């Protein structure tokens, strides 16, 4: 293959978005036989990117690094002749970091051909849609009649969780941070919505449960919300932890991490068994590394529901690549709703 000159946004230091990134040139000289090169139309933002920028994501590569998990684009080169039929094909693709680039190298099993679907919809269905599908429809499927709490319900994962849970017959309580977001999640089908900035959410959840217990909590915050959710859970209930966004407000360094863990408290496995409560941790990067076939199955599953009209992705903003710091800051502010997408001009 010919060498490819490209550009990417490099995360060069921790801190504020407008100081943490630099647009740099880089060169792709070769790829392995199980890899492809995707010329990207754009990429999506995920909260893990914010955590990486703040230095709170242990799995992030050492700086300087190109972060980002997902792209949409066209395959322009493959590592073996058996895969040549993919050249010229539009795809949605996962990558183990490296997504903030005009050209991305990824494995062949991480790309799925698509047609002319909007880039925003495809990006919303990639990492965030797959995460929601994995938790609600694959790992521990939501059942009809389940009482479900969705934290960060107006975000990229949350908006899809609401739709999946309702499709599967659940009673959905959505936790959000503004009245505008309350309206959005109710329009998506949530049965109840709580503005946690106005009301203690754990008290409001109890009211909506009408003396019943919580069956499922989808929780990307952890920290102090862990204990609150745990008290709301009944027999057979499960809490799915898929992030630690509260860590960003717990302070920096080791003391901040210890404070975050202190808020969660100690869980004794024998107690979980006696109370028949379940805690499940989800890290999609580990799933991608160890079970790539699961990731692919979940992407195919959420794409099928999208094409059937069951899931409607929510787009929170489309940005030029040159406005990446602005997009990052907006996501970090907590004001965004739905998926944020960055497109190369």
Burial class (CB in 10 A: 0-12, 13-18, 19+), 290: exposed
Query: Which pLDDT value is given to residue 56?
Result: 86
Task: Please give the Cα distance from 246 to 294 (Å, whole number).
Answer: 28
CA–CA separation, 246 and 70 (whole Å):
24
Predicted TM-score (pTM) of the model is 0.87
Alpha-carbon gap, residue 53 to 324, rounded angstroms: 13
Distances (CA, A) of 90 to 100, 119, 334: 18, 11, 32
Q: What is the pLDDT of residues 94-110, one digit of tens each?
A: 998 999 999 999 999 89
β-strand partners of 83: none
Contact by Cβ (8 Å): 159, 153: yes
Structural domains in the chain, sorted by start = 4-116+314-343 (3.90.180.10), 131-281 (3.40.50.720)
Q: How far apart are CA 230 and CA 79, in angstroms?
A: 49
Give me the residues of the chain with pLDDT under 70, please.
Answer: 244-266, 268
CB 31 within 8 A of CB 77: yes
How high is the pLDDT of residue 6? Answer: 97
- Rounded to whole angstroms, the Cα distance separating 295 from 193 reads 30
CA 136 to chain centre: 13
User: CA 95, CA 73: separation in Å to the nearest integer?
Assistant: 13
Question: How many Å apart are CA 181 and CA 77, to the nearest integer?
Answer: 43
Determine the Cα–Cα distance for residues 238 and 45; give it in Å rounded to an integer: 28
The pLDDT of residue 250 is 46
Do 9 and 321 form a contact (C-beta atoms < 8 A)?
Answer: yes
CB within 8 Å of 162: residues ≥ 6 apart: 150, 153, 172, 174, 185, 188, 189, 190
What is the greatest pairwise CA distance in the chain? 66
Residues 6+ apart with CB under 8 A from 254: none
Q: What ranges in 168-317 are assigned the alpha helix state H?
A: 179-187, 201-209, 224-232, 253-264, 269-275, 284-290, 292-307
Residue 117, preceding peptide bond in cis (omega within 30° of 0): no
Are 266 and 227 contacting, i.e. CB atoms less than 8 angstroms apart?
A: no
Closest CA to 73 of 114, 39, 36, 103: 39
**Rounded CA gap, 322 and 25, in Å?**
14
């Amino acid at each position: 293959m010919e060498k490819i000159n490209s550009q990417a946004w490099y995360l060069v230091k921790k801190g504020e978005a407008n100081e943490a990134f630099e647009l740099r040139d880089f060169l792709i000289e070769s790829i392995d036989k199980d890899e492809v090169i995707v010329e990207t139309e754009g990429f999506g933002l995920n909260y893990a990117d914010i955590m990486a920028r703040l230095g709170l994501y242990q799995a992030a590569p050492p700086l300087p690094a190109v972060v980002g998990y997902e792209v949409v684009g066209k395959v322009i080169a493959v590592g073996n002749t058996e895969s040549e039929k993919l050249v010229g094909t539009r795809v949605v693709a996962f990558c183990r970091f490296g997504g903030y680039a005009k050209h991305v190298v990824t494995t062949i099993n991480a790309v799925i051909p698509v047609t002319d679907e909007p880039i925003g919809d495809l990006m919303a269905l990639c990492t965030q849609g797959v995460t929601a599908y994995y938790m609600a429809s694959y790992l521990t499927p939501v059942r009809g009649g389940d009482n479900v709490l969705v934290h960060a319900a107006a975000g990229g994962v949350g908006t899809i969780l609401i739709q999946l849970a309702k499709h599967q017959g659940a009673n959905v309580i959505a936790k959000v941070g503004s009245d505008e977001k309350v309206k959005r999640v109710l329009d998506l089908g949530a049965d109840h919505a709580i503005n946690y900035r106005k009301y203690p959410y754990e008290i409001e959840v109890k009211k909506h449960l009408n003396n019943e217990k919580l069956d499922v909590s989808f929780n990307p915050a952890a920290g102090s919300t862990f204990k609150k959710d745990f008290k709301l859970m009944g027999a057979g209930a499960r809490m799915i932890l898929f992030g630690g966004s509260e860590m960003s407000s717990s302070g920096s360094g080791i003391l901040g991490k210890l404070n975050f863990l202190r808020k969660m408290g100690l869980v004794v496995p024998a107690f979980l068994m006696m109370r028949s409560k379940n805690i499940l941790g989800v890290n999609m990067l580990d799933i991608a590394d160890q079970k790539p076939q699961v990731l692919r199955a979940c992407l195919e599953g959420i794409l099928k529901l999208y094409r059937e009209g069951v899931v409607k992705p929510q787009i929170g903003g489309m940005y030029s690549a040159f406005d990446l710091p602005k997009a990052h800051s907006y996501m970090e502010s907590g004001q965004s709703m739905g998926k944020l997408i960055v497109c190369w001009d």
